[in-house]
């Protein structure tokens, strides 16, 4: 019998007013009234079915994402939160996050989110440069972005700002100015990640050009210096926070914890008492979902997949990887990966201590190559 890890809850709201050209998340574009009352009802039924699989564990964190979850009316979000609490005795101090965009339609609701128990807000700013915002097809400008931050600060100590670097036509000074503006408003957390164009997106088909990789690397280096100087500690590849404000929900992912995923196309990972890990994928067809057909597929994770997925997550973190944590989370003895560890050590990617592994700077720079070692 294995000790079950902590478990989180991800709730997917699949609607957006507009699909951005670089977005590869699953979403429906809808300018009309969305069937939110019916959707919330079915989300809660989906939740009830997953609760049968988690062995009476309390929900550790909740994250409402999308899509654009803030498109839902306040009463719908309130009904959703109350429904979750009614069905699972969550912790008193559970981190409950919601994603929002900096438009007036959305930020006028920030006060109400706080009143219904949402205690962490994540604002998708991306950049403060109005010209660049237009190029990446966002529907607001710098003035609206700053207004949203000012409004959010009235109610939230735990505030994340999403920013991107390496945008089309972005200069080094543009990227650093974004960080300087964000830092000026003293958010507790900044997610600062490289802009990428994934296959099957509009930008990929248009062959949108990005800055040279040397310039992108310079943005990364100089940006990290600025964030560190301003009191933000890096704890993950693209996450920087003030003390005590790391995102607990994302940390659970990166530490290979369990999570339920409810709503259209949501993914889940659920460990069983025998150590078996089951991955779930919910139906991405909204009509099927609203007819009560929630589960699309399940997959039992093999031993090799466990090893790769474990390291794919924990290697993102800037901390030692304890050997007993690997065994506890995967139900696999460390001897099973001894040859892989030795190869990584010889390449200078890993320092192998008695009780833990530590990833070197070289290892962080060549994460994909390091992961390939665990694939072999």
Confidence at residue 349, expressed as pLDDT on a 0 to 100 scale: 96
Domains and CATH numbers, the chain: 7-252 (3.20.20.70), 318-376 (no CATH)
Q: Is the pTM of this model over 0.85?
A: yes
Q: Residues 259-293, buried b or exposed e (16+ Cβ, 10 A)?
A: bbbbbbbbebbbbbeebebebbebbbebeebbeee
CA distance 127 to 192: 10
Are 201 and 24 within 8 A, CB to CB? yes
Confidence at residue 21, expressed as pLDDT on a 0 to 100 scale: 73
CA distance 197 to 24: 9
Confidence at residue 1, expressed as pLDDT on a 0 to 100 scale: 63
Instruction: Write the CA distances from 325 to 3, 292, 317, 337, integer angstroms.
Output: 11, 38, 14, 14
Which DSSP symbol is given to 283? Answer: -
Confidence at residue 300, expressed as pLDDT on a 0 to 100 scale: 98
Return the number of other C-beta atoms located less than 10 Å from residue 252's C-beta. 21
First to last CA, the chain: 28
CA distance 356 to 338: 13
* Residue owning tokens 């072999």: 376
H helices then E strands: how many in the chain? 16, 17
Name the token pair of 2: 């294995």
Which DSSP symbol is given to 35? Answer: -
The maximal CA–CA distance of the chain, rounded, in angstroms, is 59
Confidence at residue 200, expressed as pLDDT on a 0 to 100 scale: 80
- Which burial class, exposed, middle or buried, applies to 26 when counting CB atoms under 10 A from its CB (0-12, 13-18, 19+)? middle
Instruction: Write the CA distances from 32 to 65, 79, 204, 243, integer angstroms.
Output: 20, 21, 28, 42
CA distance 217 to 346: 26
- Beta strands at 356-359 and 350-352: parallel, antiparallel or unpaired: antiparallel
Report CA Rg, the chain.
21
Confidence at residue 88, expressed as pLDDT on a 0 to 100 scale: 94
Name the token pair of 364: 């962080």
Q: Nearest-CA neighbor of 81 among 115, 131, 30?
A: 115
Confidence at residue 254, expressed as pLDDT on a 0 to 100 scale: 97
Q: What is the three-class DSSP state of 345?
A: helix
Return the number of other C-beta atoms located less than 10 Å from residue 87's C-beta. 13
DSSP β-bridge partners for residue 357: 321, 352
Name the token pair of 93: 């101090």
Q: What is the pLDDT along the chain (376 residues), one digit of tens a residue?
A: 678 999 999 999 998 877 777 776 666 676 567 899 999 999 999 999 999 999 999 999 999 998 889 889 999 999 999 999 999 988 888 999 999 989 866 778 999 999 999 999 999 999 999 999 999 988 899 999 999 999 999 999 999 999 999 999 999 999 999 999 999 999 999 999 999 888 888 788 888 889 999 999 999 999 999 999 999 999 999 999 999 999 999 999 999 999 999 999 999 999 999 999 999 999 999 999 999 999 999 999 999 999 999 999 999 999 999 999 999 999 999 999 999 999 999 999 999 999 999 999 999 989 999 999 998 7
């Amino acid at each position: 019998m294995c000790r079950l890890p902590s478990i989180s809850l991800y709730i997917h709201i699949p609607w957006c007013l507009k699909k951005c050209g670089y977005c590869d998340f699953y979403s429906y574009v809808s300018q009309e009234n969305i069937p939110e009352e019916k959707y919330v009802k079915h989300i809660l039924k989906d939740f009830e079915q997953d609760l049968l699989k988690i062995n009476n564990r309390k929900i550790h964190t909740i994250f409402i994402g999308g899509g654009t979850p803030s498109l839902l009316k306040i009463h719908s979000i309130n009904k959703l939160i109350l429904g979750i609490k009614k069905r699972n005795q969550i912790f008193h101090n559970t981190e409950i996050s919601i994603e929002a965009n900096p438009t007036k339609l959305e930020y006028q609701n920030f006060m109400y989110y706080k009143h219904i128990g949402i205690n962490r807000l994540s604002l998708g700013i991306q950049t403060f440069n109005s010209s660049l915002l237009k190029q990446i097809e966002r529907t607001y400008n710098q003035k609206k972005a700053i207004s949203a931050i000012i409004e959010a600060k009235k109610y939230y100590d735990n505030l994340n700002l999403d920013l991107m670097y390496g945008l089309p036509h972005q200069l080094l000074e543009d990227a650093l100015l974004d960080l300087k503006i964000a830092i000026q408003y003293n958010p507790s957390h900044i997610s600062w990640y490289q802009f990428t164009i994934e296959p099957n997106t509009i930008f990929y088909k248009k062959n949108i050009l990005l800055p040279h990789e040397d310039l992108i690397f310079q943005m990364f280096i100089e940006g990290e210096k600025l964030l560190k100087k301003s009191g933000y500690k890096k704890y993950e590849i693209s996450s920087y926070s003030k003390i005590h404000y790391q995102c607990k929900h994302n940390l659970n992912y990166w530490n290979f914890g369990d999570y339920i995923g409810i709503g259209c196309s949501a993914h889940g990972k659920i460990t069983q008492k025998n150590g078996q890990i089951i991955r779930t994928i919910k139906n991405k067809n909204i009509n099927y979902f609203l007819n009560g057909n929630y589960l699309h597929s399940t997959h039992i994770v093999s031993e090799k997949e466990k090893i790769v997925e474990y390291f794919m997550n924990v290697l993102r973190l800037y901390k030692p990887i304890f050997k007993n944590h690997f065994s506890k989370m995967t139900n696999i003895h460390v001897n099973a990966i001894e040859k892989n560890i030795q190869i990584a050590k010889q390449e200078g990617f890993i320092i192998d201590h008695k009780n833990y592994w530590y990833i070197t700077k070289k290892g962080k720079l060549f994460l994909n190559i390091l992961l390939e070692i665990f694939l072999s």
